[in-house]
């Protein structure tokens, strides 16, 4: 089981073209943790997991994680409406931010992301695009009746 990657391997995994296993996915409801779906590489045997969280009180608060399977190495994690994030070098990011995997810092290093009006489905599509997921599931808002 892989628990740490070097930067080159992480970049290679991110750059792989991927397809979602599920054809549709109901987004998390308020307070729901670790709901997700599987993603597979088009050209290798590599598998990944996309997991999400939606805030229980602030429904605009959400996170979307792209990780390896096995090993659960977080390659990307988007955080929206979270507390400010402090990077390993001490810099503080206020607002939406994207954690990027690095061999030195794991997933503790983040960069600011411009999300002026959070939309859980749009943010999920953005992460899937950055993670090179070509065949995406139909995303259904879990908060809609």
pLDDT averaged over 10-residue windows placed end to end, the chain, 145 residues: 79 97 94 94 97 92 94 93 92 94 92 85 93 96 73
Q: What is the pLDDT of residue 15?
A: 97
Q: What is the pLDDT of residue 144?
A: 67
Q: Is 99 within 8 Å of 74 (Cβ atoms)?
A: yes
Domain with 60 in it: 7-140
Q: Is 91 within 8 Å of 108 (Cβ atoms)?
A: no
With 0.85 as the threshold, say if the pTM is over it: yes
CA distance to 28, 55, 58, 124, per residue, from 120 (Å): 10, 11, 12, 6
Domain assignment of residue 145, yes or no: no
Domain assignment of residue 1, yes or no: no
The C-alpha atoms of residue 77 and residue 97 are separated, in whole angstroms, by 8
The residue among 127, 142, 140, 122 whose CA lies nearest residue 48 is 127
Domain assignment of residue 94, yes or no: yes
Domain assignment of residue 41, yes or no: yes
Domain assignment of residue 2, yes or no: no
Q: How many domains does the chain have?
A: 1
């Amino acid at each position: 089981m892989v628990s740490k990657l070097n930067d080159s391997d992480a970049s290679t995994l991110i750059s792989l073209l991927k397809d979602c296993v599920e054809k549709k996915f109901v987004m998390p409801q308020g307070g729901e943790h670790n709901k997700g779906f599987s993603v597979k590489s088009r050209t290798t045997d590599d598998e990944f997991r996309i997991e999400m969280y939606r805030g229980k009180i602030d429904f605009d608060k959400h996170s979307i994680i792209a990780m390896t399977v096995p090993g659960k190495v977080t390659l990307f994690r988007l955080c929206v409406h979270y507390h400010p994030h402090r990077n390993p070098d001490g810099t503080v990011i206020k607002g939406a931010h994207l954690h990027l995997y690095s061999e030195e810092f794991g997933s503790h290093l983040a960069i600011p992301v411009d999300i002026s009006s959070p939309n859980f489905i749009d943010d999920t599509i953005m992460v899937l695009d950055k993670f090179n997921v070509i065949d995406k599931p139909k995303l259904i808002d879990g908060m809609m009746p």
